[in-house]
C-alpha cells in the first residue's frame, strides 16, 4: 500500500532542495516560467538535467511543445523571484517587467540576472511521472556568475520555507 499523500509530503519536506526558475520562450515569442525545486542533474555524458512539471497547467503545456528551456539556479537574495514564478504575484502585473534578463543562446529562454548559474537546454525526452511529467533536457550551454566562490549562497527550500546555508 502506498504512503498517504500527507505523509509523503511531510517526509519530502524534510529534504532540502535548491530553488530554480525554469523558463522558456514559446513559438509566439511569449515567455513562460515556473519555480521548481523538483530539478536535478541526471547525467554528465551526455550532460542531462530533469525537471518535474505538474500536468494540466500552462507551464506543462508550454514545456510539452517548447524547442528548449533555461534553468536559473537562484541566489539566496532571490526569494521574490522565486515567489513570483511560484504563483505569488499580483494579478495583472508583468512578472518580467522589472527583471534584468539575457537570452540563453540556443533555447532563447530567459536567463535572470543575479542567479548563481544558468543552463541552456533542448528537449531530450519526457517521461510519465504520475501527476507530473519528467522533462529531460540536454544541456547545450552553462554559465556561472562571477561571484567569488566564498561568497556564493544558494536559495534553498526546506520544511515548507526558504532557507540559506549556514557555516
Q: Average pLDDT of 57-85?
A: 96
Q: Average pLDDT of 2-16?
A: 89
pLDDT band at 167 (very low <50, low <70, confident <90, very high): low
Distance in angstroms (rounded) separating the CA atoms of residues 100 and 129: 33
Q: Give all domains of the chain, ordered by start, each with its CATH number.
A: 17-146 (2.30.110.10)
Residues of the chain with pLDDT > 70, as a percent, come to 99
Mean of pLDDT over the chain: 94
Q: Average pLDDT of 41-56?
A: 97
Distance in angstroms (rounded) separating the CA atoms of residues 24 and 101: 12
pLDDT computed for residue 40 by the predictor: 97
Distance in angstroms (rounded) separating the CA atoms of residues 123 and 139: 9
Three cell numbers at 137? 533536457
Q: SS3 of 152, please?
A: coil
pLDDT computed for residue 166 by the predictor: 78
Amino acid at each position: 500500500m502506498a504512503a498517504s499523500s500527507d505523509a509523503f509530503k511531510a517526509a519530502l519536506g524534510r529534504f532540502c532542495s535548491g530553488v530554480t526558475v525554469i523558463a522558456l520562450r514559446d513559438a509566439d515569442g511569449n515567455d513562460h516560467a515556473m519555480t521548481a525545486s523538483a530539478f536535478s542533474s541526471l547525467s554528465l555524458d551526455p550532460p542531462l538535467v530533469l525537471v518535474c512539471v505538474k500536468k494540466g497547467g500552462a507551464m506543462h503545456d508550454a514545456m510539452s511543445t517548447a524547442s528548449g528551456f533555461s534553468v536559473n539556479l537562484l541566489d539566496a537574495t532571490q526569494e521574490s523571484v522565486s515567489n513570483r514564478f511560484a504563483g505569488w504575484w499580483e494579478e495583472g502585473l508583468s512578472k518580467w517587467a522589472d527583471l534584468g534578463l539575457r537570452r540563453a543562446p540556443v533555447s532563447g529562454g530567459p536567463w535572470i540576472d543575479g542567479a548563481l548559474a544558468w543552463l541552456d537546454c533542448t528537449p531530450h525526452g519526457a517521461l510519465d511521472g504520475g501527476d507530473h511529467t519528467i522533462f529531460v533536457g540536454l544541456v547545450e550551454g552553462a554559465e556561472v556568475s562571477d561571484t567569488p566562490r566564498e561568497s556564493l549562497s544558494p536559495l534553498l527550500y526546506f520544511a515548507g520555507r526558504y532557507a540559506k546555508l549556514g557555516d
